[in-house]
Structure 1
């Protein structure tokens, strides 16, 4: 299943069981996307986190940042993040996608993929602080990268979308229960990419 989206802002619902995913290929104009990439690359407080693999500490294969409302911390892969305060640029992007998502996001995880050596392995966005059926708004600026999905219980169900400059991917419903996703590393020459995944962090009792 290789899903291709139309070249307009109307969005394409991906035909996938157990998922609610809509892809907007040209959500931001090329001019907007160029400027947003430039500003985010310069003003975001990027950090190089480390993870533990078989007892060895290695660099995460990308740079990250966590921004959001005060008190909305986030943890994944043994990494704990306290939010930086929203920037005007992040708020601008957030407000644009909230109109489509019909969700008020309170945080965003940013990833900077510097080249093809950077990527993210198979995972789901299913941490307990995201709630039962999290809404994830994923915005991409910069070089296009492959976004691959696979069903957790049916190995024959797979999908792929090219996340292009200025695109917006919205995941909702039971998607995170049934589907994993990844951005694979590549030997091909690719331009740097900034990805913003907007989330709603819930209080954990």
Structure 2
């Protein structure tokens, strides 16, 4: 059963349409890290949420933590470089991001990881995408969020002020430079009413 999504008052269309990327705004975080944010990049994002929630082959995972095996508090899906993405607009988004950041990144975005946060009890703990090249090289991770907004938090690895960005309803964030090595990010649990959200994370080859 798909959780109910409260539609955005600012996105009353079922027509999926990516806007231009020239309105993106960069925030320098420090330590060589930065984020680019573009609210509402995808029009019709609520319609896409419904299709992805219903049709993606979501999987639940269990992981060992200390002496226990626990449920991962979100559903997951992954599409490799040779896999067809679950909707054509996601391929369009990946290609548009690759073109936009070609000079700075030096390579295309190739993979897509999807996370389904069903309600406020679902979350992801503090981490950096350091499996593979992200542990030693500057790289980028671009996240397109559909569904209800949830806070993405970022903080320096060695301590410092936390940055908060609510993301949903077609918002885009790109984490670049040293962000995966020198900063961590998380989607915390919340006791406030929180609708369902799906994040689509586009990454270059060898970054997880």
TM-score interval (norm. to shorter): 0.7 to 0.9
Q: Is residue 147 from structure 1 mapped to residue 172 from structure 2 by the alignment?
A: no
4+ residue segments displaced more than 4 Å = none
Deviation at 1:129, TM superposition (A): 4.7
Q: Is residue 100 from structure 1 mapped to residue 113 from structure 2 by the alignment?
A: no
SS of residue matched to 1:190:
coil
SS of residue matched to 2:28:
coil
SS of residue matched to 1:139:
strand
1:142–1:165 contact (8 Å) kept in structure 2: yes
Q: How many correspondences in the alignment?
A: 180
Q: Note the aligned Cα RMSD (angstroms).
A: 2.0
Deviation at 1:202, TM superposition (A): 2.9
For 2:96 and 2:154, locate their aligned partners in 1 and report how far apart those are by CA, in whole Å: 26
Residue segments in structure 1 that go unaligned for 5+ positions in a row? 1-7, 71-83
For 1:85 and 1:49, locate their aligned partners in 2 and report how far apart those are by CA, in whole Å: 22
SS of residue matched to 1:170:
strand
Structure 1 residues 14, 128: CA separation in 2 closer, same or farther (over 3 Å shift)?
Answer: same
Aligned match of 1:173: 177
For 2:87 and 2:164, locate their aligned partners in 1 and report how far apart those are by CA, in whole Å: 32
1:101–1:170 contact (8 Å) kept in structure 2: no
Deviation at 1:101, TM superposition (A): 3.1
Q: Is residue 187 from structure 1 mapped to residue 201 from structure 2 by the alignment?
A: no
> Which whole-Å deviations, capped at 9, do the CAs of 1:48-91 have from their partners, x for residues lacking one?
01111122111100000001224xxxxxxxxxxxxx54334332
For 2:48 and 2:99, locate their aligned partners in 1 and report how far apart those are by CA, in whole Å: 19
For 1:157 and 1:119, locate their aligned partners in 2 and report how far apart those are by CA, in whole Å: 21
Of residues 113, 136, 140, the one that matches 2:141 is 136
For 1:16 and 1:104, locate their aligned partners in 2 and report how far apart those are by CA, in whole Å: 24
For 1:42 and 1:97, locate their aligned partners in 2 and report how far apart those are by CA, in whole Å: 26
Aligned match of 1:21: 35
Aligned match of 2:54: 42
Residue segments in structure 2 that go unaligned for 5+ positions in a row? 1-19
1:101–1:137 contact (8 Å) kept in structure 2: no
Aligned match of 2:17: none
TM-score of the superposed pair, with normalisation by structure 2: 0.79
TM-score of the superposed pair, with normalisation by structure 1: 0.80
For 2:53 and 2:98, locate their aligned partners in 1 and report how far apart those are by CA, in whole Å: 22
